[in-house]
Amino acid sequence: MALFRLERTAPLPPEEVWRRLTLWSRHGDVVPLTRVVVETPPPTGRGTVFVARTVLGPLRVDDRMEVTVWRPPAGDAPGLCRLEKRGRVVLGWAEIEVAPRPGGRTRVRWTEDIGVRLVPAFFDPVLRGAGRWVFGRAADRLLRTP
């Protein structure tokens, strides 16, 4: 498993940052070669299930996730969303924390522990670097786009 953490600060209120980062279908717009399908009816909350399907030629990988913690930010209280990866190939979990900062800004902390079934731990540094790059880029794009 490859554990990594990203931190960003956005010039937006926590509720807007939360909305942008947890509108799951938008993740497919910012992650290359990936489409996201939400399998459960709205609204998003604990128990929501969605699949991020990445396709490269004949290779198809489904990253099936379930929201297991759903605490949107409220006032000065930070928000926390935890996703458990429930697929056959992609393993692990992710947490997205959103916390208010002075001056109307918001801190985002994205922590993920990701693994790929049958891929040995020797490749964790590569997986960690790729995860940081892909999810960092995705977070940046999601935060920039309303």
Domain ranges of the chain: 2-144
Distance between CA 109 and CA 83 in Å, rounded?
A: 14
What's the pLDDT at 63? 96
Question: Helix, strand, coil: what percent of the chain each, to 5?
Answer: 25, 45, 25
Superfamily for domain range 2-144: START domain (3.30.530.20)
Q: In the chain, which residue ranges form alpha helices assigned H by DSSP?
A: 14-22, 27-30, 124-144
Sheet (strand 49-56) strand order: 2-10, 105-116, 90-101, 79-85, 59-71, 49-56, 34-38
Query: For each of the chain's 146 residues, which pLDDT tens digit applies?
Result: 999 999 999 999 999 999 999 999 999 999 989 999 999 999 999 999 999 999 999 999 999 999 999 999 999 999 999 999 999 999 999 999 999 999 999 999 999 999 999 999 999 999 999 999 999 999 999 999 98
Q: What pLDDT score was predicted for residue 146?
A: 86
Whether pTM exceeds 0.75: yes
Distance of alpha carbon 114 from alpha carbon 103, whole angstroms: 34
The predicted pLDDT at position 82 comes to 98
As a whole number of angstroms, the distance between CA 32 and CA 28 comes to: 8
